[in-house]
Amino acid sequence: MKIRFAVGPHGGSLSAAELVAFAEALEAAGFDGMWLSDLPVAPVLDPLLGLALAAGRTHRLRLGANLVPLGRNPFLLAKELAQLDQISGGRLLLSFVTGLWQPGERQALGLDGARRGDVLEEVLGLLRGWWTGDAVDHHSARWRFDQLPAAARPVQDPLEVWLGGRGPQALDRVGRIADGWLGAQLTPAEALLARRQIQAAAGRAGREVDPEHFGMSIPYAHEDPAAELLAPIAARRPDVDPLAFVPAGRTGLRDLIGAYVDAGLSKFVVRPLGAVASWADEAAWLAESILDLQT
């Protein structure tokens, strides 16, 4: 398997200068990519704006977004993502998620009682139609497009879309329609089970998910993290000790990555659990810790 590492920032917002320092430090250190997450109702930079800035300041670094496509006009989103792939020279990576279920998020996204998973599937189908250059004819309760031609096509053909999620319906969706899976907040044993469920769903749908297209987002700390840093994770997974998937120190991070690799995962987004004072120093610490594992 080809093991690759991308790095995401901590949960706080980055200024333009901080984001540029982040991207340039990762590229200089030799990481495969950077990764930004979409937090619709939080005061953080939209990942598409952040990646557009990074595209102009890097040359090799792959540019990933954990994107909530719900609430965005699918035609305009198809155009924006295709053009972002164009200006980055085909370096765009995408993972779609249905949101974080934060207070006010459903209202902000304009879901009006719709099932998030159903909307995601509808949006993804529309995006793929425009990305292949088709004129899309689509009528539903949410959108009407009458033979609307594509406004832009991505460099990558196809432009892949991975999905997240860990519940049965989310994993089934990955198997049925996604190009890959980027999980989060799962132990290696749970990730192994999820990978098998995805592959089984793909088999039922008469398709296959590339065995190289299974990954995990890993928050980490240099030393044992403070309880307040773990609290948000514990709230989302009260059934599991968060230290089961939040490693501390170089050895802890390497050991957990090794366990995920044994479970059949090979693509990783690692992100510091807390704020970072210097991205040059953080990239150096991470590079010394894990970059020799990248193949």
DSSP state at residue 248: B
CATH at residue 18: 3.20.20.30
Q: Please report, for residues 115, 166, 169, 173, 189, the alpha-carbon distance to residue 197 in angstroms, rounded to integers and kept in the order given.
A: 22, 10, 10, 10, 13
Q: Can you give the pTM of this predicted structure?
A: 0.95
For residue range 267-286, what is the model confidence (pLDDT) as tens digits? Answer: 999 999 998 999 999 999 99
Count of domains observed in the chain: 1
For residue range 40-87, what is the model confidence (pLDDT) as tens digits? Answer: 888 889 999 999 999 999 999 999 999 999 999 999 999 999 999 999
Task: Give residue 289's domain range.
Answer: 4-293
Q: How many residues does the chain have?
A: 295
Helices H / strands E in the chain, number of each: 10, 10
For residue range 149-181, what is the model confidence (pLDDT) as tens digits? Answer: 999 999 999 999 999 999 999 999 999 999 999
Q: Which of 187, 232, 273 is nearest to 10 (CA)?
A: 273
Q: List all residues 6 or more positions away from 125 whose beta carbon is below 8 Å from its beta carbon.
A: 177
